[in-house]
Amino acid sequence: MKKAPWIIGSCEWIWRVILVNWCWFVFTILGLGILGFFPASVALFAIIRKWIRKETDFPVLKTFKQVYFQEWKRSNVIGFVFYGIGLFLFIDIRIVHQMMTGFMAVFLSIFLYIIVCVLLLTVGYFFAIYAHYELPNKGYIKQAFLFALTSFPSTILIVIGFILIGYMINEYPGLILFVFAVAPAFWMMRVCLSRFTALDSEVS
């Protein structure tokens, strides 16, 4: 008995999703976490962008490795800017918690946590922008920051999607091995591509 084409297609897509998710884990670990996270995430977003744009006829593992090593240096240079900002904010939060009390401590804590949220959104937008546009290093950081501050509807959609994905993974921890990286990246890229298309049409 022949298998239905949709079953074969579904199995192929499941395997692709699992494979790219595992690639992200493995190559992030190979880079000792800090040096692997940014190039692995850039490769992940590059592949997901191709999928969303209906480009599926390419080897996932080979493409992931190619983008990972090709963008390793550049993505890490930008990544260390984000790491530096994150470390600075972490130190500031620790200082506030340990050395300050009262209203000012509460105010500064809220302010710093808001900045942390903006930083995390900026990093997410960075990966989407990096996969879609060719810009100088400063341009990626600037545009990602502007998107985080000004793309309010897109940000709301992204946050809602992340909450739902986080809820699913929390309810079914086994999904971590299969969609932990690819699900939020897919949702982020999906929302951002719609925004990019609208902006590009306005410019043209």
Greater model confidence, 13 or 165:
165
Backbone angles phi, psi at 57, to 5 degrees: -90, 70
Band (6; pLDDT cuts 50, 70, 90):
low
From 114, 113, 123, select the one nearest 145 (Cα to Cα): 123
Query: In the chain, what are the domain boundaries?
Result: 5-203
Res 14: pLDDT: 87
- Please say if the pLDDT value at position 5 is more than 80: no
Res 4: pLDDT: 54
Report pTM.
0.90
Render pLDDT for 105-141 as a digit per residue (tens, 0 to 9): 888 889 999 999 999 999 999 999 999 999 999 999 9
16-24: average pLDDT: 93
